Amino acid sequence: MVKNFKLPISVLMLMLWSCATYQPPPPSLHIENLPPHEVSRLTLDERLTLEDAWQSMKQGNTNKAIKLLTKLGQESPFFYVGMGYAAYVQQDLPSAENYFKVATIDFPDLAMAHLGLGQIYQETGRDDLAFASYREVLKYDPDHPWAKARYEEIQEMKTSESIREALSAEEAGNMEAAKTAYLRALYYTPQSTEVHLAMAALYTREEQYDNATIHFKAAMADEPENTEILAAYADALFQSGDNSQSLETYERLLELTPDDEQAQQRIEILKNRLGIFELPSQYNIIPAAETVTKEQLAALLGVRFKNILDTPQTKPPIIIDISTSWASRYILDASSLGLLDVYPNHTFQPQKIITRAEMAEVLHRLIRQLERQGYRFIQQIPPERIQITDVSPDNFYYRPIVLMISYDLMSLAAGRNFNPDQIVSGAEAGQYLDLILALIQ
């Protein structure tokens, strides 16, 4: 372990002084200047001693530098990094490496320690470790000119080398080796559009669309409006079964390329898969309507309970008067579930205005359908306690009216009147349905 390298100061001094000579630092060695923000924390005597040691080291007088660093003591954040540079000047690279390692462990925020270690790694041919060390420096100082230049040099070299290796593996038919090489390239250049697209193409050929989408998405980071990448990403999402994300991506693609026929076709397919449809403009006027008709009520039921009501299992009834109705699809679903009546002569009468009594009947049928699907409704008022002045017990609508009052969905007016023949507005019809939705959610 690196920690075991710590030795008594006398031994450290003996080891370095035994080989210390007065020699200038190697031309390739970059001795980082002392960081002012760290030096400012030292006492005046410590600061003067450290600055003297650093100046002596840069001049090649490692003997004096070591003596001054020893005076600072091993607890100083600059002791081990200073000893590392001193050993480096003497070209004792193994000792320098160990000193720098101790410094990075004891003081991980000290960028100059990582900088020294990176130089050791680079000089000894361990570019991957040098790259990691320079990256640590750039975490604390993103614009460090010396570290950034060498980081980018290694980055370009290793990325190009890995791409060449990946292409050779592809040509040889070794796709796993190609992936490994591409991933190594991404280690050095995570934002490489070229590499992400190459990886995406590999996974697409293997029909591993989930993996392909990851790389297509990454490739789009710097080119969000590149329609070729966007189209490939949308297709991969489509093939992977991610319908919702695929739809969103195709819609974005269509904004950029309005004449893209394939995108238009895919959007229609995806909308059908997701059960998405454009609401007719007539639907939007229902809330403001003074009356609600049968076709409007069918549409309210279809839209409000689109993902809740079961799909009708029986064939839709024969209806002869809804071919021109904007709500025909909703009418067929509602009548197939028995929520709205089709008359014996096969008419639906879509323009018929709904009364409060009829609304109670529809709500009653809706609740029974939901109960069959497993939803539970609790009566708030015992039905036997409900007394209605203007609806007799033998009235066809009496039972559904009583039940809707018991569920607190509909209410009585003054004098315990229900007003069964009063028309229902579009807003009221929507409110009744929303109350039922609230009860089951």
**What three-state secondary structure class fits 355?**
strand
Where does the chain hold its CATH 1.25.40.10 domain(s)? 2-142, 191-274
CA pair distance 17, 259, nearest whole angstrom: 78
CA pair distance 339, 308, nearest whole angstrom: 14
- Cα torsion 219, 225, 230, 231: sign: negative
* Per-state percent for the chain, helix, strand, coil, to nearest 5: 65, 0, 35
Other Cβ atoms within 10 Å of 83 Cβ, number: 29
- What pLDDT is recorded for position 331? 95
User: Which pair of tokens denotes residue 91?
Assistant: 């070209």
* DSSP secondary structure code for residue 423 in this structure: B
Q: Which residues contact 168 (CB under 8 A, 6 or more apart)?
A: none
CA distances from 168 to 125, 161, 245 (A): 24, 11, 34
Other Cβ atoms within 10 Å of 418 Cβ, number: 25
End-to-end Cα, the chain, rounded Å = 60
Q: Per-residue pLDDT for the chain (441 aa), expressed as one digit of tens each?
A: 444 445 454 444 444 444 445 566 677 789 888 988 888 889 999 999 999 999 998 888 888 999 999 999 988 989 999 999 999 998 999 999 999 999 999 899 899 999 999 999 999 999 999 999 999 999 989 999 999 999 999 999 999 999 999 999 999 999 999 999 999 999 999 999 999 999 999 999 999 999 999 999 999 988 889 999 999 999 999 999 998 899 999 999 999 999 999 999 999 898 888 766 667 889 989 999 999 999 999 999 999 998 899 888 778 899 999 999 999 989 999 999 999 999 999 999 999 999 999 999 999 999 999 999 999 999 999 999 999 999 999 999 999 999 999 999 999 999 999 999 999 999 999 999 999 999 987
User: Which pair of tokens denotes residue 437?
Assistant: 């939705």
User: Which pair of tokens denotes residue 129?
Assistant: 């470790």
User: Which pair of tokens denotes residue 431?
Assistant: 């409110």
CA pair distance 181, 159, nearest whole angstrom: 9
- What pLDDT is recorded for position 2? 44
CA pair distance 182, 298, nearest whole angstrom: 57
Decide: residue 216, CB within 10 A, 0-12 exposed, 13-18 middle, 19+ buried: buried
Phi, psi of 145 (to 5 degrees): -65, -40
Q: Write out 256-294 in H/E/C secondary structure.
A: HCCCCHHHHHHHHHHHHHHCCCCCCHHHHHHHHCCCCEH
One-letter amino acid for residue 158 of the chain: K
Report the topology of domain 2-142: 1.25.40
- What pLDDT is recorded for position 189? 95
Q: CATH number for the 191-274 domain, one of 3.40.50.2300, 3.30.70.1020, 3.40.50.10860, 1.25.40.10?
A: 1.25.40.10
CB 257 within 8 A of CB 227: yes
**What three-state secondary structure class fits 119?**
helix
